[in-house]
Amino acid sequence: MANFVEPKVYKIAETKLVGENVFAWLEDLGGEECLAHVQGDDKEKLIELCGRRCYKSYVPHLNPNVTKTRTDSHLYHENVLKSRHGSILEHANVTFAFENVSRVVTHELVRHRAGAAFSQESLRYVRLTDLNMFFPSIFTEFGEEKAEAARKLMQEAMESAEDYQKKFMDLFHEEMEANFNTKKKLTSSFRRVAPMGLATGIVCTFNFRTLRHIIEMRTSVHAEEEIRLVIDQMAEILTHDYPMIFGDYEAENTGDGLYEYTTEYGKV
């Protein structure tokens, strides 16, 4: 039976520094003293260390043109964001698992292909049985009676799609048992009558520059509700875990239970 579900976001991996090699690298350059004041999470430290490599600005006079260096990582990152030196943000990555999201959402996410990697549930291999979906809140704005009618229509449509999946499997039961290659081709064919709104899962790895772009694009009041709900969750994690890179964002409640994230620094 089809059910209504809420999208979920999990941070499952992130870039980590190899400490001893970082020290060896900086020692070779003559800039290891900077480690005494480079602060933050590993990804924030990595971004700062990569940015300082551009000018060899780990300590004063290491580069004869640099007589003074910032010793406050918060000020360093603030300057990076203000100057829109976004390329160094691409060194840090975070991986998120999105579950109970529709293909409406996944089709939007994969458009952010620059600086990203995707692994999505394959309906060529995963056979559809119970189909779940997200219920858009727009239906509730026109009264409980219409909302309930819309809920019933969506459930009927999804259960009908479930029924067709089962009918296909019954029709080709013997062929499905023949061999794996045939089973794969049939499963792939069955999915053509699956609705776009069915809940699925995708794992995405993004660099920090791409994440900032996604936050600004996909929490906008003009974005689709479900993807706003998903990216709001992601933005909340990022602003909490990496304040020097994402702490400049202000989250404004847009009156619909969702938030729009904006920054004075603009695109980086």
Q: Which residues are catalytic?
A: 218
187 vs 198: CA distance, rounded Å? 16
Given a contact cutoff of 8 angstroms between Cβ atoms, the answer to whether 186 and 176 are in contact is yes
Closest residue by Cα to residue 93 from 196, 159, 12, 3: 12
Closest residue by Cα to residue 219 from 244, 243, 254, 268: 254
258 vs 219: CA distance, rounded Å? 8
Query: CA dist 261 to 23, 154, 232, 239, Å?
Result: 36, 31, 8, 10
Is beta strand 132-133 parallel, antiparallel or unpaired with respect to 3-4? Answer: parallel
